[in-house]
Amino acid sequence: MEKWDGSEGTSAFHMPEWMIQFADQKQEFNKRPTKIGRRSLSRSISQSSTDSYSSAASYTDSSDDETSPRDKQQKNSKGSSDFCVKNIKQAEFGRREIEIAEQEMPALMALRKRAQGEKPLAGAKIVGCTHITAQTAVLMETLGALGAQCRWAACNIYSTLNEVAAALAESGFPVFAWKGESEDDFWWCIDRCVNVEGWQPNMILDDGGDLTHWIYKKYPNMFKKIKGIVEESVTGVHRLYQLSKAGKLCVPAMNVNDSVTKQKFDNLYCCRESILDGLKRTTDMMFGGKQVVVCGYGEVGKGCCAALKAMGSIVYVTEIDPICALQACMDGFRLVKLNEVIRQVDIVITCTGNKNVVTREHLDRMKNSCIVCNMGHSNTEIDVASLRTPELTWERVRSQVDHVIWPDGKRIVLLAEGRLLNLSCSTVPTFVLSITATTQALALIELYNAPEGRYKQDVYLLPKKMDEYVASLHLPTFDAHLTELTDEQAKYLGLNKNGPFKPNYYRY
């Protein structure tokens, strides 16, 4: 099993500054839960949570009901009131959404089918904190079918689909979440999941690390019974890594963010489509003939470049890493410094995970009508703050589209205020969410069933065999037929017929 502990050799992953800042902020909050502290935390919550955010809009009209769910008395049809959602009566609509999602998540449905005989999660008590959407519901009900008991809160104060939460509550899941929670609500909901009489979790499924954080702070003793943590987000993984580094991680944790399938699909394949979608929905522009500079040629940048090239754009690439730079060359892109092309391009796209990649100086030199957007990890890639100066006029022309106007009349078109275009202005396909959810389910099964000693108090990548299993569960969607090794071939290659098929360092 490959360990990601950064302890080996010179290229170990150092804790980057933004992570340290984040950690500091967090500690601030715990010391002084003032209004300001809360707000800064609120930002960090939403920032971390958007790592795996899916476009989420309430399906039904928001009722004008302004009563806080915490103040309501609600029961589901079986008489239970162990939940807190916006409106239990929306359950039926939510159920239909879940049913539609089930059709598009065949891998989880296949897991359910296999679970009819054995219950690999029998006895598992899972506390979860994720976005609450129809896809999450399919995951939760799959975990239930596999034998687990679940309690759930939202990892983001805006992303909950109330109808889906209602449907889950109606079918007996203790869900504590609604769209538009306050920060106090946010932590209250998490607490209601964890702090239950006569029920103690033995597994954690987290997205962003807030749930894990809460248990660390409030109920550290719970970890005695907890068999493991499964974490989904970049931010949450980094927090676990900090804990591990500091020697404070007291259970095994599984980093599902860096599994092959998730990385390649979330980044390369998904962004290949969402860059086009995000640009079209916001600007209705034509791609053909446009000059575009893509900053960063990692998986996300590769996806963006491939898509735009295919649509007839002329694409330039900037890179700091010479290996990725050489890949860009071989893939047919001119490798430039941003300064060289900034005056001529029609679109600037950042995909670096870095900060201040597009500076005010760059923005000053762009031509009129240049579109600027961000597909990278954080919202710091474009120095949007530098545009908040008196001489520039901001004009909101559509949702997620601002014109920033220079004194001489030049406009640049800023999308999503520099936040992630793919999350803000396009949707994440169910197929990608399915891969993620399946990976989460398998990680829970692995950690829950692993024999004593297989995992220590450290952060692990999903075993390659399970990554392969996730992939195999999604092949039927494409009517794809896998070839099996013959015994003779397996012997020749020195492989088990059922995998894993590649050494850990294999790059795909």
**Window 456-475: residues binding its own copies (CB under 8 A):** 461, 463-465, 467-469, 471-472, 474-475
Q: Smallest distance, Å, CB 494 to its own copies?
A: 4
Determine, following the binding rule CB under 8 A, whether residue 330 of this chain makes contact with its own copies.
yes
Question: How distant, in Å, are the alpha carbons of 74, 308, 381, 467 from that of 462?
Answer: 40, 33, 30, 7
Q: Smallest distance, Å, CB 304 to its own copies?
A: 13
Question: How distant, in Å, are the alpha carbons of 313, 494, 495, 507 from that of 265?
Answer: 23, 29, 26, 14
Determine, following the binding rule CB under 8 A, whether residue 269 of this chain makes contact with its own copies.
yes
Give the pair of three-digit tokens for residue 351.
Answer: 């995909």
Q: How many chain residues bind its own copies (CB under 8 A)?
A: 124
Please give the Cα distance from 399 to 405 (Å, whole number).
Answer: 17
260-271: b (≥16 Cβ within 10 Å) or e: bbbebbbbbbbb
Please give the Cα distance from 414 to 444 (Å, whole number).
Answer: 41
Exactly one of 176, 287, 448, 455 binds its own copies (CB under 8 A); that residue is 287
SS (H, E, C) 200-236: CCCEEEECCCHHHHHHHHHCHHHHHCCCEEEECCHHH
Name which of residues 422 to 461 contact its own copies (CB under 8 A). Answer: 426-427, 429-432, 461
Exactly one of 25, 263, 386, 457 binds its own copies (CB under 8 A); that residue is 263
Closer of 168 and 432 to its own copies (Cβ): 432
Determine, following the binding rule CB under 8 A, whether residue 334 of this chain makes contact with its own copies.
yes
Residue 325: helix, strand or coil by DSSP?
Answer: helix
Determine, following the binding rule CB under 8 A, whether residue 196 of this chain makes contact with its own copies.
no
Name which of residues 99 to 118 contact its own copies (CB under 8 A). Answer: 103-104
Alpha carbons within 13 A on the beta-carbon side of 291: 14
Binding mask 387-426 for its own copies (x = CB under 8 A): ---------------------------------------x
Beta-carbon contacts of residue 111 (< 8 Å; ≥ 6 apart): 142, 145, 146, 438, 441, 473
Exactly one of 28, 82, 277, 383 binds its own copies (CB under 8 A); that residue is 277
Stretch that binds its own copies, among 45-53, 110-118, 203-211, 259-267 (CB under 8 A): 259-267
Q: Smallest distance, Å, CB 288 to its own copies?
A: 4
Determine, following the binding rule CB under 8 A, whether residue 273 of this chain makes contact with its own copies.
yes
Determine, following the binding rule CB under 8 A, whether residue 500 of this chain makes contact with its own copies.
yes
User: Which candidate, 308, 365, 319, places its Cα nearest to that of 341?
Assistant: 365
